[in-house]
Amino acid sequence: MLWNNKTKVNQDYLKDWPAHYYEISSAGQREACLKAILEKNPDSKADQRRLELLYRRFGKYPDETKDRFFHAWSLIKATGRETVNILNRRLIEKEMFGYMNELFLASFDRDEIVEDEWYDFANRFLELSGNSPAYRSVLFGLKKVSDQDTAFRLANDIEFITRKVPRQFQCDREFADFAEVMEAVYVNKIKDGDKILEAVKNGRTTI
């Protein structure tokens, strides 16, 4: 290999471990910190679990640009816009099951660390999307929209992807906990988030 990609550990993240783990934006730095912790505490079940989920979410060579949560999120959104009929329903249901696995929604996966991963994704999604032209503008980026319009667009996506599409495929129960995490982070981070979510759930476009 031409490049030496060995990531150095930022010692600040190791203080009061794992309090600062999800402050690490780089998947490679997360891996380096986990390996450093496991060198000292190889029997730590929680950190073994974090490392396992890191690889499942970001790949064997962790890369935050290849987040499988974002991959599943965007494809569930696309799936919800497809026309479903007797000819393609079984295939689409199979694809949905794959996206659910990418989001760690299978019942055997559920634990506190999986929930932490969901919270991490929710924060990343809102921070990235809240500043993205896809949510902050219309007409191919030519016209900006207000902060409240952006908030409504984000809330509509959360409702559509975590509630409406799963109901369409009878897997809303499997999505329920994940949906609650997405909504909780939204309410915490977005001004009037509770009112906007309520409006969206009731089909309103204003609060």
For residues 50 and 84, state if they share a domain.
no
Q: What is the pTM of this model?
A: 0.90
For residues 25 and 126, state if they share a domain.
no
For residues 143 and 82, state if they share a domain.
yes
Residue 8 is predicted with a pLDDT of 58
Q: Where among 65, 86, 121 does a domain terminate?
A: 65
Number of domains in the chain: 2
For residues 102 and 123, state if they share a domain.
yes
How far are the Cα atoms of 72, 102, 147, 165, 178 from residue 92, in angstroms, in the given order? 13, 15, 35, 12, 21
For residues 58 and 74, state if they share a domain.
no
Tell me if 174 sits within 8 A of 100, measured CB to CB.
yes
For residues 51 and 119, state if they share a domain.
no
Residue 67 is predicted with a pLDDT of 98
Domain range for 30: 1-65
Residue 149 is predicted with a pLDDT of 93
| Positive or negative: CA dihedral 76, 78, 82, 86 | negative
Q: What is the residue-level pLDDT of the chain in tens, covering all 207 positions?
A: 333 344 556 678 999 999 999 999 999 999 999 999 999 999 999 999 999 999 999 999 999 999 999 999 999 999 999 998 999 999 999 999 999 999 999 877 789 999 999 999 999 999 999 989 889 887 666 678 899 999 999 999 999 999 999 999 999 999 999 999 999 999 999 999 999 999 999 999 999
For residues 89 and 121, state if they share a domain.
yes
For residues 104 and 46, state if they share a domain.
no
Q: What is the largest CA-CA distance in the chain?
A: 56
Q: Amino acid identity of 189?
A: K
d(CA 49, CA 171): 26
Burial class (CB in 10 A: 0-12, 13-18, 19+), 167: exposed
For residues 194 and 104, state if they share a domain.
yes
Spatial CA neighbour of 27 closest among 57, 4, 72: 57
For residues 54 and 75, state if they share a domain.
no
Q: Where among 27, 44, 65 does a domain terminate?
A: 65
Please give the sequence-ordered ranges of beta strands (E in DSSP) within the chain, or none if there are none: 137-138, 143-144
For residues 122 and 154, state if they share a domain.
yes
For residues 143 and 199, state if they share a domain.
yes
Q: Where among 65, 88, 118 does a domain terminate?
A: 65
